Structure 1
């Protein structure tokens, strides 16, 4: 008779016992592995329903680790940037205070101010080339290129392109003109063959090119004589487009001491200055040839004295007020490049970094969480920084030597132009389409706040990381005490099962009868 093996007598019981033994053996192996490795399972599939949670937690932990690395690197860069910009702001503030204090001191130490400003300018330029781990801090989105040329190239050029010194000198020369009087033409009364003036009229006119952009030199915008019915008359005529503005000054009779002549002159930046000459009593000498003139023996002699004084006054004004204006304008234009009209073809461009139209802060950002990033970008040519550099350059290149007879006036004029530029260290330099432009100190504050945000994010991320690690440990790690208890239980059950199975395997009819 043929017997179907799976359905043979006793086969089911035997199969079930074998299966139970195998199950217990597998459990024993799993628990032994858990005890040795400390893990619940060797694969995510072995975690059962916890595998989805474990996979999600691992992904989040990996992201948090990346955020932590990014935050750490960004904080280092930001802290160095804060230190560097603080130094630039300090240089600007100190230079401004020194200029202001210098106005109160006698004698004016122009040479010291000039030397200090040049040293501070070079220090500021070097500071703007700071880098961390090979990444430059002040190049906006471009962190791989040195953002600022070296100080020597900026000041002196590179052989084919002029530097700041020549750029400023060219602008000053263009403004003061060949006669050193602001490009004005002055005509003295006509003389007879004996050198005696035929009339007592003096004419003064400006250069028509001074009215056309780019502006250079003085533009005459007004003239007046006091008292109105005094011995001096001033007739101002505004020229039409492309024509000179002119003033005719006539000593039609002898003035008296205290009578005065005032000219109003417009500078290329549309600000104005005045030149006033006051008559001094006959036989006396004016305190300064650029502020007064002596009353002569007759109207002709007085006209000659007035003409000479006017020549001296215009030269002094051009050498101080106009020169200071030229220096500051040229320095500002240079350090605004490539945002301004400075041409790279003939002038070095000091800033080599990224120069987009976006907010500088947005040029560099660090992801601090899944839905949040912190902006930490800076450009070395931001308006406030450029202004501080221009202010330092104005002092460094515009201050006179201590031997200059007009040193006090030049110092005052340079100080008047440099201080507003240097104030950008801690005062907003103006407004843009998006609102007030930040000062250097404002940018320091923005970066400091960004650093604080990153620190707070790092703290939050660390707490989340700890929570996730605890959750993951509860899923992936096998508690030693629990595993040992289970292992002992399975071992006991397996041993008992082996013993029962062994006993049953010895049963037979002979053993049973006996």
Structure 2
């Protein structure tokens, strides 16, 4: 009998022990760390799933970081918008017509309070979060507005708002303070009132009426009358009839309707009084009734005309010092605090005799907003104007033309059998489209527009019978109807085109918070809600009311009226209002929070899945270690005994 180790192969035993030792070491690592493997190569078949889950978790971490950043900014914007809404209400109620306060204290304090709010508004719009400015659209590395003092006073040789207001007031008042109207007495018994030229300044004559019969006073009509859009050179002539016609009687009135530079209307009413009721007060003039005699003295219309002229001049000066000044200040605020798609404007030339406006430049004027802004805005049809007259429609670029703002008319193609197109000048900046009384369905008018950046857009309208939809206009029964229908269709088409060119300010700043979700929360400080506030507060902060000024109370009322109108809650539903912006930011916050909740839930699921893939149960590992330890001890003992096996030991 042969007894040796061939029956018990030690090499195999040592291999098994080595494997058990490796497993024992792995189990000890798992027991200490709770992880299945210490390196990726040890993951085996679980590696692809582990990498996929970890990649998704990493992406969620990136989204979560974006969400946290957006939450921080939206939280700041929420507090800012809340304060701006409160300021809007405070501004609206800070001045009320007729409420001047004890010793006119409200009039004395209003400019200072308005300036303080103006400064707070500028500070809020220039606020930043971690060095990022939030009210300049995509321009986030610098403040969108200059400081308050620079805006109002100017800096570095550039004029500020106060200078622009002063120029506009002078241009509207005119050299003689009559609001750019010429008051004359061309004959002894007539008085004429005429606009002094073609310009946007001062009063525009709308109408003149009288309660006196034509036999007493002949009121010449404004040409054209009434005037829907201010026309230059309008004239009113009031002729007081000579005997044997009846004289204008005490108690009868003459009323003059005027349009102000900010588009509002006002009127002057003068009442006739008898000589014995004199001296005339505000808005009164003395008529010469003559005497019954004997001897009878006929009424002298020349005396009445002279008295009327003096009363009219006094009234014009009073309205010029109140309503016109207020209108000038608010008109200047629109010129200086320009809106999207509009340039800042200045009076061109000597204000007292100026006949036009010019585009302000960064070389001569402090430009109030330096953030991102669309070059074309839907409001104002992209700086285009539409007018109808005599079976034709005129499309014109707004003056003064700015190469950096609004549409430029590149071409109008419309010559057909019944439609004729002509340019007013050498270029298509003003074009007239004339229609005949009959149109053929399918005849088209194409207008090519160019953005300041060179992008071209084509607006095409097709004549159709019956009701027109977008891109069409209805054929009417006359040339005038055809022109009116085309104008309506063109206005709609231009509005849609301008809105497309303007875009949405909210999209100026976006953040990716999910695979298919971007939160848009961009704001631009020249949106309508902010613009109304800064224009109003700027206007109210530079206007003063002196005790020595006889028109101070009327001017305060005129300013208060405009402030309440600009800050009225009727504007809450307008695009870009404080309320609409707050709602849109709330929508962004909801989208952000919903994404955060989805990521939280998904991350919990992925963490559980990853735990199943990469981690172990320490209880199971401990039990396996105990079992393996027993096997190892048995293997050690058996191997030791076998290694000593020999014939001698066996015997």
When the two structures are superposed, what TM-score results if normalisation uses the length of structure 1?
0.87
Find the counterpart in structure 1 of residue 537 from structure 2.
Answer: 392
Change (3 A) 1:123 1:102: farther
- Pick aligned residue for 1:251 from 240, 248, 257: 240
Report the RMSD for the aligned CA atoms in angstroms: 2.7
Match of 2:563 among 403, 418, 422: 418
User: Which segment drifts farther, 254-263 or 231-240?
Assistant: 231-240
Change (3 A) 1:64 1:287: farther
**What stretches of structure 1 of length at least 5 have no aligned partner?**
1-8, 191-198, 430-436
User: Larger % of strand: which?
Assistant: 2
Deviations 1:197-255 (A, max 9, x none): xx211111112223xxxx11222232222223252221135289997221221122432
The yes-or-no answer on 1:348 pairing with 2:366 is: yes
2:319 maps to 317
Between the aligned partners of 2:42 and 2:607, the Cα distance in structure 1 is 19
The answer to whether structure 1 residue 472 and structure 2 residue 610 are counterparts is: yes
Cα distance, 1:102–1:361 mapped onto 2, change above 3 Å: farther
Distance 1:233 1:263 in 2: 14
- Give the counterpart of 1:186 among 183, 191, 194: 183
Name the CA distance, whole Å, in 2 between partners of 1:209 and 1:132. 50
C-alpha contact (below 8 Å) 2:136/2:523 kept by paired residues: yes
Could you say which residue in structure 2 is the equivalent of 1:223? 208
- In structure 2, the residue matched to 1:330 is 332
Alpha-carbon distance in 2 for matches of 1:358, 1:12: 87
Matched position secondary structure for 2:43: helix
Change (3 A) 1:165 1:311: same
Q: Is the 8 A contact 1:92 1:392 kept in 2?
A: no
Match for 1:60 among 56, 61, 76?
A: 56
Residue 44 of structure 1 aligns with which residue? Answer: 40
| 1:269 CA displacement | 4.4
Alignment partner of 1:299 is 2:301: yes
Q: Distance in 2 between matches of 1:502 and 1:348?
A: 98
Give me the whole-angstrom Cα distance separating, in 2, the residues matched to 1:167 and 1:11: 113
Alignment-derived partner of residue 265 in structure 2: 272
Aligned runs of 1:138-287 on 2, under 5 Å?
A: 138-188=135-185, 199-210=188-199, 215-238=200-223, 244-253=233-242, 254-285=247-278
Task: Say yes or no: does 1:29 pair with 2:22.
Answer: no
SS where residue 283 of structure 1 aligns? helix
Query: Does the CA-based 8 Å contact 1:131-1:137 persist in structure 2?
Result: yes
Q: 2-side partners of 1:425 and 1:270: how far apart? A: 18
Q: Which moved more, 1:170-179 or 1:50-59?
A: 50-59
Q: Could you say which residue in structure 1 is the equivalent of 2:625?
A: 487
Q: Greater Rg, structure 1 or structure 2?
A: 1
**Could you tell me how far apart the structure 2 residues matched to 1:299 and 1:222 are?**
23
Pick closer, same or farther for the CA change 1:509–1:243 going to 2, 3 Å.
closer
Partner of 2:110: 113
Query: Which segments of 5 or more consecutive residues in structure 2 lack a partner in the other structure?
Result: 291-299, 345-359, 375-501
Counterpart in the other structure of 1:91:
87
C-alpha contact 1:64 1:465 (8 A) present in aligned 2: yes
SS of alignment partner, residue 336 of structure 1: coil
Stretch moving more, 70-79 or 303-312: 70-79
Structure 2 residue aligned with 1:72: 68
Answer 1 or 2: which has greater helix percent.
1
Cα deviation digits, residues 253-296 of structure 1 (max 9, x gap) = 4321121112222334444332221112222247743x221224
Which residue of structure 2 aligns with residue 378 of structure 1?
523
Q: Secondary structure at the match of 2:159?
A: coil
CA distance in 2, matches of 1:376, 1:73: 12
Deviation digits for residues 472-491 of structure 1, max 9, x if unmatched?
22322222211111112112
Q: Secondary structure at the match of 2:109?
A: helix
Task: Specify whether residues 451 and 443 from structure 1 end up closer, same or farther in structure 2 by C-alpha distance, changes over 3 A only.
Answer: same
Q: Contact 1:89–1:426 (CA<8 Å) still a contact in 2?
A: no
Instruction: Give the conservation status (yes or no) of the 8 Å contact 1:384–1:424.
Output: no
- Residue 279 and residue 105 in structure 1: after superposition, are their counterparts in 2 closer, same or farther (change >3 A)? farther
Within the alignment, does 1:405 sit opposite 2:550 as a pair? yes
Is 2:137–2:509's contact at 8 Å kept on the other side of the alignment? yes
SS of residue paired to 1:209: coil
- Which TM-score applies when normalising by structure 2? 0.70
Residue correspondences, number = 486
